[in-house]
A and B are shown apart, each in its own frame.
Chain A
């Protein structure tokens, strides 16, 4: 049973959601951060997320609010009240977040974007898709620069640049809700190491929650979808 996620006007809202699977009750903490509230600290126009310098300032603020990896927590970044986010701002905040995450420079927990209008999505998409091409060639080339975003019908989609296997694993996990490396190996007919690497990549990119369990067979990781 899953409670609906309600987003109120408060800046940070914690909601405990209990998901009952066949055997265990899993508690998930959802932290909702409204981008317009964070923007209010740096601009008089919090509905207009524009310019690269404002993005830099915003990113500094946002980082202090993002949690360290916590398998029980998902941070929801809400665009409610944001009318415009230009491409430069999107790149400075979300391009940086996705790029740092892909390079494992930061280790934030799972993050999902919600309530973004078409303008915000278009500019975000442009920022993430072109990020790898715009970085210095001396840097290790980004293979993925991606974030999960809620779209209509409560579906979570990927936005940005991502490898085919990332999308394939993400969609399978969304469908099955939880997967182990053995599950993925069986479904895709992969060897266990390859399946394990694929799922770990998903978790590293913030596209899955990784939970360690110990049972009679020893230690293993179960990957949970963000859905």
Chain B
């Protein structure tokens, strides 16, 4: 053994991790043991002995990994496992919900389930049509209210508002997004329901309790404000200033520039935000459960009560184990929600990712 080798050995023991950065993964024929306790006195011609069983584990063939490289390896594998596992949640949710809705799918076909309006769990009749319609009504109303308001707000924040106003406004959007759904529900019960019952509905229909798809729509609209505003203003910000300047220099007013340049350019982004907002509204549970009236009938006007799918799932978890096929039916409802929302999310994320890439290029 050469002088240099012995030197390495001592270095090895003195470094904190018992490893040597300079031979990281490399120097193999000498193989300074990781936990080798061999002490070499000067001039001794004894090759380092691998005493520990760990040595055998840590070394690959003739290669020996210093501890820190090994740590890196282990961490990388561990992280890979975590990453794969957390991504697989998506798959597991889909498969799990599908497997549990198989019993009801064996008894009734998809078409029957989706188009029948008869909901009599005790007789084994599960028609999801009223619930799907309830969801669509509520979602539709919320989007009709929220989208124009949010586009205008986002335009104001990005195009018009002075910096000072911007600084004050943006925290509110975040604060609004932090409010939990159940608080929106309470607010709906305390504020929106009486408002509809006493001030809006009497102008249009003879009687309404206030618990209606309109109430659900309004509450949902407020809930999706922050989401739409933040995405759309992000999209507006990605539009190059040059385009605006070009339009303005041709004598267009600011609004004309917005109308003909900004909005047109931002259209894909707005669609992505819209799709994302729809999927958010689709899955919202507790707030709509509290204000929609939960009547299993197809709503015919905005003042009719509705019964959206998520509310159905949440409301019946108590007795779902006691009635045959009921749990399967509810899991089918969850599966339906999952699939629709998954699709919508993927669509909007792909559009947004493309926009982002276009901007980066």
B and A form one assembly = no
